[in-house]
Amino acid sequence: MGGNHPVAVVDFNTLTAMLPNSLPGMKRTEAQGENQGAVGVKTSSAHGSYQGDGSSVHIDITDMSGVAGIMDLAGALVQNTTSQSDSGFERDQIIGGRSVHEKYDAKARKGEASVMLAKRFQVDVTGDGVDMQTLEQSLGQVDLARLEAMKDQGGQPK
């Protein structure tokens, strides 16, 4: 499951330090991280919660290098979703050169934006009482380029 180039997960402290201290109009109310392992598969993650006036956003950063082989398979599948209804939409679009999956319920003012980086890092942003632009801006507050640059961190010698 580790793929062709197995690597050790990035420590959760590194991922937690990448959570923004605040978002536009919101204060961070919680930051936590953890390393996990089960049946020889390891992951690490960081979670941040942010509160504004009647709104909230949660950011999750996960290093899934322990299942890189599965990510290689998933990356080979073409993903392109577009749907729309009276209450919202689901779509895949390119933001900053990266494929971002978005889902939004306009009536509930609730949504999510997710991006996979370097077949290793998953960044998920969810929000309540916000518009899609706020979720996209919140995703932009995470240093995605830095995560991509860490793609080989923890590499095992050949």
Task: Tell me, letter by letter, the H, E, C secondary structure of 71-86.
Answer: HHHHHHCCCCCEEECC
Question: pTM for this structure?
Answer: 0.86
| 49 has pLDDT over 70 | yes
Q: Tell me: the pLDDT tens digits for 59-117?
A: 999 998 765 544 444 444 556 778 788 889 999 999 999 999 999 999 999 999 999 99
Mode of pairing for the β-strands spanning 98-105 and 82-84: unpaired
Listed residue (4, 157, 130, 148) closest to 57, CA to CA: 130
| 142 has pLDDT over 80 | yes
| 2 has pLDDT over 90 | no
Tokens of 38: 């089960």
Contacts of 100 (CB under 8 A, 6+ apart): 92, 93, 94, 113, 114, 115, 136, 139
Domains of the chain: 12-149 (3.40.1000)
Cα-only R_g, the chain? 16
